[in-house]
Amino acid sequence: MTDSPVPVSTEPARLFSTLRERINYRVAILDLQGRGLVLIGGLIALAWVTSGIYKVQPDEQGVVLRFGRWVDTTESGLHYHLPYPFEAVLLPKVTQVNQLQLGSASSALTTGNSGSRDKQMLTGDENIVEADCTVFWRIKDAGQYLFKISDPERSIKIIAESALREVIGRTPIQSAMSDKRAQIADETRELLQQLLDSEKAGILITQVQLQRVDPPPQVIDAFNDVQRARADQERARNEAEAYANDVIPRARGDAARITQDAEAYKSQVGNLAEGEAKRFLSVYNSYVQSKDVTAWRLYMESMDEVLKKASKVIIDSSGKGMSGVVPYMPLSDPGKSVQKDAKP
């Protein structure tokens, strides 16, 4: 009797192989899931890091907050900040011009006479006026604007009223109501800007318009009477100045003409006196040299003066020279004697 082969069971090997395959499959799945989680986590981290990139528009400023505290101010362009929750960014508009009314608008919020009293200001000559103005402003430094002052518009209103009172307080009422209104507005803007800069408010005052400066309604009639009296006084002064400007130059011209005439008369009289003196000296010298001839010549000149309209001829009684006829030639004007001799 021969031994038959005993059959070997393959069930354990098959089970082991199946178990190993399942283990390898699960390991592959777990490895794939781990890589996916890492990838997803990396994408989330990248998105979180890139969330710190921000853009500031040309009409904005970026205010960077770190744990709620202001740490930096950025201008227009691309910038980066630490992602949330470490830092955050505010983007206020800085080119927008805001308008604030002082006087009429502020008094509208009050009732009774208190609103009118709020507008009353004392001028440099101790008169009372009511003034209304408009303040135009914009943000200059967004960080200071947001964190240095609590209520920007109320702060501007209070400081602007103080600056306007100070400027009007050193200006006379007549100037404040007429020709110096633009100057008051400019000085108010400069003083207001200085006060805001000292407070680090981050606000730029672009313009101040002074709209109205008038006396209080209770005294405006009396003030108008005073203004009319001053206008009459000014008109009378102008008329007097115009009359003076007309009369004084003519009087000065007459005085200058009289002075010139006197100087001319003085020169004329002096020249005549000097000529007469020279003539007298000439006659005297001739008389010293020849007394008879000079005396005769003086006699003839006197006769010529007496008989100036008559023709004159001298006849020498001795009959010597030129047939006894001597032409008459006066010493004072020889040319005149020639003309006289030429007459018939």
Residue 64 CA to residue 168 CA, distance in Å, equals 41
Residues 204, 137 contacting (CB under 8 angstroms): yes
pLDDT at position 190: 92
Whether residues 200 and 112 fall in one domain: yes
pLDDT for 286 beyond 80: no
Which of 36-45, 58-67, 261-270 has the largest mean confidence? 261-270
Q: Are residues 264 and 324 in the same domain?
A: no
Q: If DSSP codes are grouped into helix, strand and coil, which group holds residue 326?
A: strand
111 — pLDDT class (breaks 50, 70, 90): very low
pTM for the complete prediction?
A: 0.52
Q: What is the mean pLDDT of residues 17-46?
A: 67
**Domain enclosing residue 60, as ranges:** 53-90
Shared domain check, 158 and 118: yes
Alpha carbons 143 and 203: distance in angstroms, whole number: 10
Q: Find the Cα–Cα–Cα–Cα dihedral 18, 23, 29, 34, rounded to 10°.
A: 180
Domain boundary among the residues 184, 215, 246 is at 215
Look at residue 203 and give its three-state secondary structure.
strand
Residues 243 and 333 in one domain: no
| Domain-located, residue 13 | no
Residue 252 has pLDDT above 60, yes or no: yes
One domain, residues 109 and 160? yes
Look at residue 108 in the predicted model and tell me its pLDDT: 44
For the chain, what is the domain count?
A: 5
Where does the pLDDT of residue 192 fall: very low under 50, low under 70, confident under 90, or very high at 90 and above? very high
Any domain includes 6: no
User: Both 23 and 44 in a single domain?
Assistant: yes
Confidence of residue 75 (pLDDT cuts 50, 70, 90): confident
User: Domain for residue 154, yes or no?
Assistant: yes
Does residue 109 belong to any structural domain of this protein?
yes
Tell me if 4 is assigned to some domain.
no
Domain boundary (215, 240, 255) is at: 215
Q: Could you identify the residue written with the tokens 């020639």?
A: 338
User: What CA–CA distance (Å, rounded) separates 80 from 86?
Assistant: 12
Final residue of a structural domain among 215, 249, 267: 215
**28 shares a domain with 63:** no
Most confident of 52-66, 161-175, 209-223: 161-175
Q: Are residues 61 and 107 in the same domain?
A: no
Q: Are residues 136 and 178 in the same domain?
A: yes
Residues 148 and 208 in one domain: yes
pLDDT over threshold 70, residue 341: no
Comparing 336 with 13, the larger pLDDT belongs to 13
CA neighbours closer than 13 Å in the CB half-sphere of residue 244: 6
**Maximum C-alpha span of the chain:** 237
**In terms of domains, do 278 and 333 share one?**
no
Q: For residues 24 and 134, which has the higher predicted lDDT (pLDDT)?
A: 134
